[in-house]
């Protein structure tokens, strides 16, 4: 009976790195870590509160025997901070798997973090974990995968990812070992913005489920109705920006040039056009801003359905291309680059990273001076630059609040976090679809908030550097044929519940339940003439029965959760090749029903 041991290494609530031991297979899920600017000031109280988050990742990871790590799975671009260090400065030599957007955006995140670290500290070259060359080398070692694509990094081990709904390319990994599936639910969101929608099948299929990070309810507040709350937060930020732009003021949005920032920018521009306001000059201050915004347009297949529909018109799913053509979109890498660029005066909409405190403080200082020199006539006519707004949406409340406190003395900031990550309530909601779960692991800070009385599975908690071991038992659910026979029997007796006792018997490879309630008259033998079937007709019938089937003359290819199958249609005898036992079960059961009907 296989066992899996999960050990979390990152102490931060939002980022994570899991060491997983599955019998003789050892792998890593995500490589996240909280990377802060090297000169970030700290108060005495703040030091005590954040000591655990400032642990040295090098000393923490030195306890891992990297030569024994077989492979690494990366869920999204926020969980890659330590990947270049692992691939370039440890003995790890296995494959790394991630989606194409995760790889592309992850490189932007890593380069931006390193750039800000080097510009904020003269000794950064001695303190930082890796170099630009290390980032490039790490990206070259990543194998691109698509959602639902099955990879086999080790014998008897298969892995695939499903959309997490959190960011472009973000996914939740499922690792299948000898027929047992373990799902790692990384940073996920039910609120539908521009990324591809959350796929719940990763939870429905798994025997063991690990919720890698769950938002602390005390920080995020009540999250009932994620879509409604996220929409309200975005509307609040957009309304504040529009109110300032109406008075010919200037707006700074503190956030990376990807993720929620794209949705806010889209909403502000669309509202400006609908209200016949002059388009603001959008200035993106970031060394990776131009690439990051372009990825949103060129990776349309990774977006939500409404954004993907624009690709068939054809239209660009975001407005940055239109802004660029009208001369209202400007990319500058730093303040020095901004000084050398000519950008028209007027209403500005500036996007700056929360790590780039120098740029934020520069604009606040400059805009305050402009407000002080603005005459009363200009203010009355709304032609001056007296008003400006600073907006922030980061859902990392601790880090965001530290920046708000730092800038509160110089400017009024509208901090409106857009919390999309799972909370305890969301975990309970998603677990209702966990029909095969036997073990569920959640972070310790939400374990006490989950009700443990009404679940059929074992609920466990994990915490920093504490190993959690669970046994992947055999599936406790009855085979589909027995479930169907029990349902038919209860339906015939007009019952919703029934107590059935009998003996399970194995005959000719089929499991049967022998009991009085299921005694039925023998059916007449059905003879199927397979020569009458065509690949197109069979694919159509399999699709009508819930499978993803397509004709590939003279075969039929079928994709099911956890595997694929090929039905080779010979004129006298068919052959079915399946990639996994679970796929074989589903395909054979459906094929039998189709042929008998």
Task: Give the pair of three-digit tokens for residue 505.
Answer: 């018997």
d(CA 322, CA 270): 12
d(CA 552, CA 132): 46
Contact 358, 407 (CB under 8 A): no
Q: What is the 3-state secondary structure (H, E, C) of 350-384?
A: EEECCCCHHHHHHHHHHHHHHHHHCCHHHHHCCCC
Q: Outline where 154-283 has alpha helix (H).
A: 201-204, 217-220, 226-246, 260-274
d(CA 317, CA 114): 30
Query: Would you tell me how many other CB atoms lie within 10 Å of the CB of residue 550?
Result: 15
Adjacent-strand bridge partners of 550: 557
Adjacent-strand bridge partners of 458: 439
Q: Which fold has domain 3-220+421-471?
A: Metallo-beta-lactamase; Chain A (3.60.15)
The pair phi, psi for residue 524, each rounded to 5°, is -70, 145
Q: How far is CA 399 from CA 81, 87, 213, 380, in A?
A: 16, 28, 17, 38
Nearest to 253 by CA among 119, 362, 394, 397: 394
Nearest to 354 by CA among 291, 268, 260: 260
Q: Which residues, in sequence order, are CB contacts of 155 under 8 Å at separation 6+?
A: none
Count the helices and strands in the chain (H runs, E runs): 22, 26
Contact 145, 155 (CB under 8 A): no
Task: Give the pair of three-digit tokens for residue 55.
Answer: 């642990």
Nearest to 212 by CA among 263, 257, 245, 172: 172
Query: Would you tell me how many other CB atoms lie within 10 Å of the CB of residue 312?
Result: 8
Query: Would you tell me how many other CB atoms lie within 10 Å of the CB of residue 68?
Result: 13
* Strand-pair category, 348-352 with 555-560: unpaired
Contact 226, 191 (CB under 8 A): yes
Give pTM, 2 decimals: 0.76
Q: How far is CA 125 from CA 106, 323, 494, 597, in A?
A: 21, 37, 75, 70
CA atoms within 13 A on the CB side of 298: 10
pLDDT on residue 287:
92
d(CA 117, CA 38): 6
d(CA 362, CA 265): 22
Instruction: Reduce the DSSP state of residue 24 to 3 states and report it.
Output: coil
d(CA 291, CA 531): 55
Q: Which residues, in sequence order, are CB contacts of 545 under 8 Å at separation 6+?
A: 590, 593, 594
* Domain at 226-415: CATH code: 3.40.50.10890
Task: Give the pair of three-digit tokens for residue 211.
Answer: 């919720």
Q: How many residues does the chain have?
A: 597
Q: Which residues, in sequence order, are CB contacts of 166 under 8 Å at separation 6+?
A: 76, 186, 187, 188, 189, 195, 198, 420, 421
pLDDT on residue 27:
97
Q: Which residues, in sequence order, are CB contacts of 87 under 8 Å at separation 6+?
A: 96, 134, 137, 138, 141
The rounded average pLDDT for each run of 10 residues, N- to C-terminus, in the chain (597 residues) is 88 92 93 69 41 66 93 97 96 96 96 82 64 95 96 93 95 93 95 92 93 74 59 92 91 93 93 93 93 89 90 81 89 88 87 91 89 61 67 85 83 86 89 88 88 78 90 62 69 65 64 64 57 84 85 86 80 77 74 79
The pair phi, psi for residue 315, each rounded to 5°, is -140, 160
Nearest to 211 by CA among 445, 465, 45: 445
């Amino acid at each position: 009976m296989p066992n899996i041991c999960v050990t979390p290494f990152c102490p931060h609530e939002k980022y994570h790195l899991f060491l997983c031991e599955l019998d003789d297979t050892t792998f890593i899920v995500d490589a996240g870590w909280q990377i802060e600017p090297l000169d970030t000031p700290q108060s005495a109280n703040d030091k005590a509160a954040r000591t655990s988050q400032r642990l040295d990742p090098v000393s923490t990871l030195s306890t891992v025997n990297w030569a024994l790590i077989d492979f690494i799975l990366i869920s999204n671009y926020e969980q890659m901070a330590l990947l270049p260090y692992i691939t370039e400065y440890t003995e790890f030599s296995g494959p790394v798997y991630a989606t194409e957007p995760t790889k592309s955006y992850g490189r932007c995140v890593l380069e931006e973090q390193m750039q800000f670290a080097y510009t904020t500290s003269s000794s950064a070259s001695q303190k930082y974990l890796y170099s630009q060359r290390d980032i490039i080398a790490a990206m070259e070692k990543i194998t691109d995968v698509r959602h639902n694509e099955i990879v086999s990094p080790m014998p008897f081990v298969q892995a695939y990812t499903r959309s997490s709904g959190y960011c472009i390319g973000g996914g939740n990994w499922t690792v299948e070992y000898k027929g047992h599936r373990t799902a790692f639910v990384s940073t996920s969101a039910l609120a539908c913005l521009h990324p591809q929608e959350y796929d719940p099948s990763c939870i429905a299929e798994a025997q063991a489920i690990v919720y890698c990070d769950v938002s602390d309810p005390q920080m995020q507040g009540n999250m009932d109705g994620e879509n409604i709350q996220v929409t309200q937060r975005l509307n609040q930020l957009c309304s504040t920006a529009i109110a300032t732009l109406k008075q010919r003021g200037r707006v700074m949005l503190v956030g990376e040039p990807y993720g929620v920032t794209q949705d806010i920018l889209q909403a502000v521009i669309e509202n400006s056009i609908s209200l016949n306001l002059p388009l603001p000059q959008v200035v993106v201050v970031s060394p990776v801003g131009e690439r990051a915004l372009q990825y949103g347009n060129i990776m349309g297949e990774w977006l939500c359905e409404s954004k993907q529909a624009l690709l068939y018109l054809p239209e660009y799913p975001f407005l940055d291309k239109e802004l660029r053509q009208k001369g209202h979109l400007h990319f500058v890498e730093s303040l020095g680059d901004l000084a050398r660029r000519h950008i028209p005066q007027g209403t500005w909409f500036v996007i700056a990273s929360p790590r780039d405190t120098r740029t934020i403080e520069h604009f606040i200082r400059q805009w305050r001076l402009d407000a002080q020199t603005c005459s009363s006539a200009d203010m009355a006519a709304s032609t001056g630059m007296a008003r400006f707004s600073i907006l922030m949406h980061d859902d990392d409340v601790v880090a965001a609040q530290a920046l708000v406190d730092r800038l509160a003395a110089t400017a009024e900031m509208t901090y409106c976090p857009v919390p999309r990550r799972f909370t305890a309530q969301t975990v309970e909601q998603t677990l209702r679809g966990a029909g095969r779960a036997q073990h569920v692991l959640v972070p310790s800070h939400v374990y006490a908030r989950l009700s443990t009385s009404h679940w059929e599975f074992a609920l466990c908690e994990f915490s920093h550097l504490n190993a959690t071991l669970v046994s992947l038992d055999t599936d406790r659910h009855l085979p589909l044929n027995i479930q169907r026979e029990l349902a038919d029997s209860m339906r015939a007796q007009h019952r919703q519940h029934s107590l059935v006792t009998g003996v399970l018997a194995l005959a000719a490879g089929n499991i049967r339940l022998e009991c009085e309630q299921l005694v039925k008259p023998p059916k007449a033998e059905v003879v199927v003439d397979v020569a009458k079937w065509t690949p197109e007709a069979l694919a159509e019938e399999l699709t009508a029965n819930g499978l993803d089937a397509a004709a590939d003359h003279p075969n039929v290819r079928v994709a099911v959760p956890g595997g694929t199958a090929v039905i080779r249609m010979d004129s006298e005898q068919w052959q079915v090749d399946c990639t996994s036992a679970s796929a074989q079960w589903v395909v054979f059961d459906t094929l039998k029903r189709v042929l008998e009907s």
